Amino acid sequence: MTTTVSEIAKKVKVVLGFSGMSDVDLLKRLDAVINGMAGSLIFVAPPVDIATFKAEVHTFDKLVTEALDGGKKVISAKRKQREVVIKMVTQLAHYVEAASNNDVAALLTSGFLAATPKRTAPQPLIAAGFKYVDRGPNTGQVVLKPVSQKGAVAFDLRYCPVPTAGAAPEWVSQPLPGSKPVTLTNLTPGTNYQFQVRALGRLGYADWSDTVTFICA
């Protein structure tokens, strides 16, 4: 898969994972690096001499072909040479990553690929809830705390006296900056109140929580 400049974040990383490549795919990447870095005016001081690297890759290529016959001796030699070139290309990769100065276009001229950072799409929040609803320190106060929720950036609280049967609730709304405890004041002692909370995330508000009732002292 080709990596484009627009797909890369500011912190540029080189795609590694050479040990997990097949011999054929590894040779393709090694050849691309040789072609990209030979005579480069950007990567002028690689930790591995490119001519030496090219010679080692050529040896590996030759052993890969010879190992197709299945001889144990040549297969062992191929494996050892594979480790040699992987060590060299890894050194070059780290050098290119540092020397590119977060310039994706420069990095791609080296023959290496730039890694696209994984981005986790925001997920819908579940309905919020209360960790507790309790008496406040003074008369006419209630202390409550929403359950913290990953991805929530804020909460909305609403409360009112429990309405009589058939009456619509007359909610009082209050934004909450987080899930820290909040103290409601100026409530009427002896009145049964109902409370709901909802969470706000990157995709908007979740549903209101189940109603919790509590008699203010």
The DSSP annotation for 102-161 comes to: T-HHHHHTTTPPBPPPP-PPP-PPPP--EEEEEE-SSTT-EEEEEPP-TT--EEEEEEEE
- Residues 165-215 pLDDT 10s: 999 999 999 999 889 999 999 999 999 999 999 999 988 999 999 999 999
Distance between CA 46 and CA 20 in Å, rounded?
24
Q: Total structural domains in the chain? A: 2
Q: What are phi and psi of 203, to 5 degrees?
A: -100, 5
Do 103 and 137 lie in one domain? The reply is no
Q: What are phi and psi of 176, to 5 degrees?
A: -120, 130
Do 75 and 165 lie in one domain? The reply is no
Do 138 and 101 lie in one domain? The reply is no
* pTM above threshold 0.85: no
Kindly state the percentage of the chain with pLDDT values over 90. 81
- Residues 111-143 pLDDT 10s: 999 987 667 777 889 889 999 999 999 999 999
Do 100 and 138 lie in one domain? The reply is no
Do 164 and 83 lie in one domain? The reply is no
Per the domain annotation, does 177 fall within a domain? yes
Give the pair of three-digit tokens for residue 49. 């001499």
Residue after which a domain boundary falls, among 108, 138, 160? 108
Instruction: Identify the domain containing residue 164 by its residue range.
Output: 130-215
**Does pLDDT of 24 surpass 50?**
yes
